[in-house]
Amino acid sequence: MTARGDFIEKFGGVFEHSPFIAERAYDAGFVTVPLTAKRLHDGMVLEFRNAAREERLDVLRAHPDLAGKLAIAGELTEDSRNEQAGAGLDRLSPAEHARFTELNAAYTQKFGFPFIIAVKGLNRHDILTAFERRIDNDFDEEFETAAAQVERIALLRLQALLPER
């Protein structure tokens, strides 16, 4: 496997199921030694922001629902499973689960992509509050909010993979 292939294998999932971001960052020369989370994040975010709007929308759509069907079926990526579990979304009461399910459906119907929030440091109540507030946004505002959350999730994932120097 080439250095590029190794890089894509390790960092291709930082933006959920969207290895094209890592590929473009590598090809654009953002992979330099020493590799740090901040420098790599800056390059990957630039590629994400420079992607066509439909590609960015596809990145948003690649994210799972919070406490949704994939979580119940055990089909989340390891990163998503750990992130959701860290926020307690794997321990919802039946009433909380029903509320998340209701909000997931309404949000996805309204925006065409799942609700995205960087859950690290949040609990299920914080997430539910944000969910209920953001569902009233218009499409453009929520697209930008969700994209910013994707970028934050990517940074947290990179920080877990790379030491800061």
List, as one string, the DSSP characters of 11-50.
HTTSSTT-HHHHHHHHHTT---SSP-HHHHHHHHHHHHHH
**Quick one: average pLDDT of 18-22?**
97
Positions marked catalytic: 63
Integer Cα distance of 41 and 22 in angstroms: 10
Is 69 a member of any domain?
yes
Whether residues 36 and 78 share a domain: the answer is no
Does residue 95 sit in helix, strand or coil?
Answer: helix
Whether residues 105 and 140 share a domain: the answer is yes
Per-residue pLDDT tens digits for 58-116: 999 998 877 655 444 455 567 666 666 666 777 778 898 889 889 999 999 999 999 99
Is 162 a member of any domain?
no
Integer Cα distance of 158 and 47 in angstroms: 15
152, 135, 106, 79 alpha-carbon torsion, rounded to 10°:
10
Higher pLDDT, 96 or 164: 96
Is 155 a member of any domain?
no
Q: The whole model's pTM is what?
A: 0.87
Whether residues 96 and 142 share a domain: the answer is yes
Integer Cα distance of 149 and 9 in angstroms: 23
**Quick one: average pLDDT of 2-6?**
87
Is 165 a member of any domain?
no
| CATH number of the domain enclosing 75 | 1.10.3330.10
pLDDT over threshold 70, residue 13: yes
Q: Where is average pLDDT lowest: 33-37, 75-79, 133-137?
A: 75-79
pLDDT at 165: 56
**Quick one: average pLDDT of 37-45?**
95
Q: Which domain holds residue 71?
A: 64-150
Number of domains present in the structure of the chain: 2
Whether residues 31 and 83 share a domain: the answer is no
pLDDT at 1: 43
pLDDT at 34: 86
Whether residues 48 and 112 share a domain: the answer is no
pLDDT over threshold 70, residue 130: yes
Integer Cα distance of 30 and 4 in angstroms: 12
Distance separating the N- and C-terminal Cα atoms of the chain? 27
Whether residues 111 and 130 share a domain: the answer is yes
Q: Which of 12, 27, 58 is the last residue of a domain?
A: 58
